[in-house]
A = this chain, B = another copy of it.
């Protein structure tokens, strides 16, 4: 399975991606996800279990000391942030009507809004989507 199909398989489906988005928005509880997404409880349960099984989310004891669990993104799950930004950015670029409010991601430390997702070559030069097309197999150099 290739470098694109494997992530898709791990994420699972569309619902899972929306769960992950909600997790980035700070949601943690079963009921919060269900209320936000409006999907059946058994489906949500299965999706959360799958995300945990794939190491994207993890369960932690409830922060309020309650008898239940909370679901949080692992490091691996947090690595999906650029994917969600790309998705939202594409949506804003091609779907939004003029005057429609945008949703901007904000760095919580400096409170600076994120401008754009950028592609950069190894020499630091900026690349646009239009001139970056071909794939090429290379040796693994990163850990």
- Which of A's residues lie within 8 Å of B, judged by CB? 2-8, 10, 13-14, 17-18, 21, 24-26, 55, 76, 78-96, 98-110, 112-123, 125, 127, 129-143
Contacts and interface: CB of A to CB of B under 8 A. Distances in A.
A121 B127 contact: no
B136 A103 contact: yes
Contacts of A25: 134-135
Chain A, interface SS category: mixed
Given A79-B129, A114-B119, A135-B105, A140 B96 contact: yes
B135 A3 contact: no
A92 to B, nearest CB: 6
Given A91-B6, A101-B138, A102-B140, A121 B129 contact: no
A95 B137 contact: no
A122 B8 CA distance: 31
A98 B143 CA distance: 6
B133 A87 contact: no
